[in-house]
Amino acid sequence: MSGPGPSAPAGLGEFGRIERYLRPLAAGFPGALGLNDDAALVDVPLGHQLVVTTDAMVAGVHFLPSDPPADIAHKLLAVNLSDLAAKGATPLAYSLVTGLPKDTPDSWLAAFAAGLGEGQARWGIHLAGGDSVSTAGPMNLTISALGLVPTGRMVRRAGARPGDLVFVSGCIGDGVLGLMLALGTLERPDSVGGGDYLLSRLRRPEPRLPLAPVLLAHASAAADVSDGLVADVGHIASASGVRVVIDSATVPVSDPALGLLAEWPGLLAEMLTGGDDYEVVFTAPADHRNAILAAAASAGVPVTAIGRVEVGEGVSVLDRAGQPLSLGKSGWQHF
């Protein structure tokens, strides 16, 4: 793990930082070669394929510069593992690129590395290598995560068929509500701890890795909910050449979110399109419903049926009366 560029601020320096904070994160992955080489070695077991996903986070865009470094590390790793979960993959290893402002202190990287270590222990993955550079712009951080799936079994966005049901894990809307709280554009909910819960869902999302075997067994298509439920369902609809109908009354929401909705019903559109949930939305044959709900419950991941797949194109969201709901936008746009 190396990287030419402007030197780090007074302190350990680039290679001292790698030695102290990053090399220990690679200790559990032999192919990392102790971060002493220009590349890592990855063995793919017979009968499996490698799944690769990459996500970047930029200060002021994906996280607030004031967010705790351990929370930033948790989220950076989690958003990549959320992609692997939606593909039905088991985590293997990851590479890390850090673009840090020159005045970033050693203590920031120490806390960031500690957050990565917590995530590694939680999700069974290790650092394989990467790069470190200095930047005059905002902090930017990138992870490429590697996972394994049985050959030919990766769950794609394409594959949804008319007659399938649409399912989603967890709750929808907590991430964007947490962001609104963090930015001060939304009042904290009255419920004790409700605001803290929503902020934690924003800063420390939980990738639905235990759901991967359920997806491999039942899903016809899947995506992780990062850009917003409607947008990510739209990705499935477009890739599969189908129309998806979502019943908004069945979309699961948390108790703190429900309390806010009772006071400000207009928040529903933000919750359906705002993103940052890192849940999994997937389609599956209708006759698999009971098996899916039972398997997901056994895996400890709540799953809810929220819609259906039809002939046609696009996404339609219905209100409680069964009428199309006007949302104004579909989700997060990167450009």
Residue set of the binding site for ATP = 130-131, 157, 226
For the CA atoms of 122, 124, 126, 132, the dihedral, rounded to the nearest 10 degrees, stands at: -40
- Binding site residue list for substrate: 62, 276, 332
- Binding site residue list for Mg(2+): 38, 53-55, 83, 131, 224, 227
Sign of CA dihedral 167, 174, 239, 297: negative
Identify the burial level of 103 via C-beta atoms within 10 angstroms of its C-beta, where 0-12 means exposed, 13-18 middle and 19 or more buried: exposed
**Residue 301 near residue 86 (C-beta atoms within 8 A):** no
Mention every residue, 6+ apart, whose C-beta is less than 8 A from residue 230.
Answer: 246, 272, 273, 315, 317, 327, 330, 331
Distances (CA, A) of 254 to 101, 302, 330: 37, 12, 21
- Binding site residue list: 38, 53-55, 62, 83, 130-131, 157, 224, 226-227, 276, 332
State the amino acid at position 47 in one-letter form.
G
Instruction: Name the token pair of 284.
Output: 């599956």
Q: Where are the alpha helices (DSSP H) in the chain?
A: 13-17, 69-86, 106-123, 174-183, 194-203, 212-218, 229-240, 255-263, 267-273, 289-298
